C-alpha cells in the first residue's frame, strides 16, 4: 500500500508530491515531455538528501520553477532554459506560483525539523 502525499501541486506538465520523508516529481506522458526529459520518468528524492531549494517566480512572459539541489547532484545553472531539462526541477505557470511557494515552505519545514 503506497503512502498518501501530504501535498500535491501541479506544475507545467509535471506534478510535485510531498510525502513524509521524500518528494516525488511525476512527469506527464507525451511527446513534448519525452523531447525535454527523454526517458527519465518519475523521480523520488529523500528529504535528507536535499541540500538546497531554489524557487524562481514566474514573470509576465516567463514560467517559474522550483529546483532541488541534492548531495552529489549536478543541477542546471542555466536559468529557465536549463531548468526545463533538469530532472530535479518542476516548471510552473504564474497562476500555480502560490501553491509552489506553499509546498517549498512545507518541504523546508520538514527538512529543518
> How many domains, the chain?
1
**Least confident residue range of 23-27, 77-81, 95-99:** 77-81
| 2 belongs to a structural domain | no
- Predicted TM-score of the model (pTM): 0.80
Cell, residue 76? 542546471
pLDDT for the residue 38: 46
Domain of 38?
7-112
CATH number of the CATH domain containing 91: 2.30.29
Asked, for residue 1, whether it belongs to a domain, the answer is: no
pLDDT (tens digit per residue) in 40-80: 678 999 999 999 999 999 998 999 999 999 887 665 555 55
Residue 56: inside a domain, yes or no? Answer: yes
Q: Pairing mode, if any, of strands 64-70 and 14-18?
A: unpaired
Amino acid at each position: 500500500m503506497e503512502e498518501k502525499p501530504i501535498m500535491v501541486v501541479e506544475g507545467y506538465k509535471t506534478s510535485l508530491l510531498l510525502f513524509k520523508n521524500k518528494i516525488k516529481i511525476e512527469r506527464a506522458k507525451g511527446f513534448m515531455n519525452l523531447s525535454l526529459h527523454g526517458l527519465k520518468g518519475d523521480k523520488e528524492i529523500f528529504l535528507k538528501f536535499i541540500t538546497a531549494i531554489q524557487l524562481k517566480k514566474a514573470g509576465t512572459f516567463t514560467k517559474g520553477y522550483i529546483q532541488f539541489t541534492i548531495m552529489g547532484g549536478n543541477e542546471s545553472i542555466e536559468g529557465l532554459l536549463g531548468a526545463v531539462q533538469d530532472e530535479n526541477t518542476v516548471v510552473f505557470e504564474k497562476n500555480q506560483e502560490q501553491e509552489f511557494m506553499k509546498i517549498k515552505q512545507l518541504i523546508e519545514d520538514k527538512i529543518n525539523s
